[in-house]
Amino acid sequence: MDKKIIGITLTYAIIMMSLILVTFIGEWNPSGYSYSLSNETLTIEKGLFSKETTEIAIEDRIDQAISFSLSISEENQQWRMDVIVIGLLLPFLLLLFVPDRRPFKKQLSYPWFALIVAALVVLYASYSVPAHITEISDIQNQVDRLVQE
């Protein structure tokens, strides 16, 4: 293996390990919210390292708490799917920087390879980003309602 492939492999490993650690160990998602439920208290946490914590008594508002937890679950699911897609597309993006090592070089010229990779990234981003924006807005509205009452 030459230095370029080692560099790409190392870059891929660092990026993916960071995403996996933050997502699965840190329980982070783009909304920044997580929660825990014990007895009749919902604890909402915001942030990754220095978490802001809000405790809410939910004895009369179980439906709102369930709706909030469902929204967080949907955001977590979307983010985890994003991590998988990033893991699949990232090698192709990184190989754009090493044209002599890219796959399909006999079948596709470099400009076509770059165009296809860019199109895949743009297509997925056009699906994923609006989904996150909608979910994050919904989560924020639910947090505001839970805290105000």
pLDDT score for 1 = 67
pTM for the model: 0.87
User: b/e for 103-125, b at 16 or more Cβ within 10 A?
Assistant: eeeeeeeeeebbeebeeebeebe
Q: Checking DSSP bridges between strand 41-46 and strand 52-57, what pairing results, if any?
A: antiparallel
Q: Are 142 and 64 in contact (CB under 8 A)?
A: yes
133: Cα separation from own chain's centroid: 12
**What number is the average pLDDT over the span 35-41?**
88
pLDDT score for 100 = 83
| Residue 148 pLDDT exceeds 70 | yes
| Residue 5 pLDDT exceeds 90 | no
pLDDT score for 38 = 87
pLDDT score for 102 = 85
Q: Which helix (H) or strand (E) holds 47?
A: none
| Residue 12 pLDDT exceeds 80 | yes
Give the pLDDT confidence of 69-124 residue by residue, as tens digits: 999 999 999 999 999 999 999 999 999 988 888 888 889 899 999 999 999 999 99
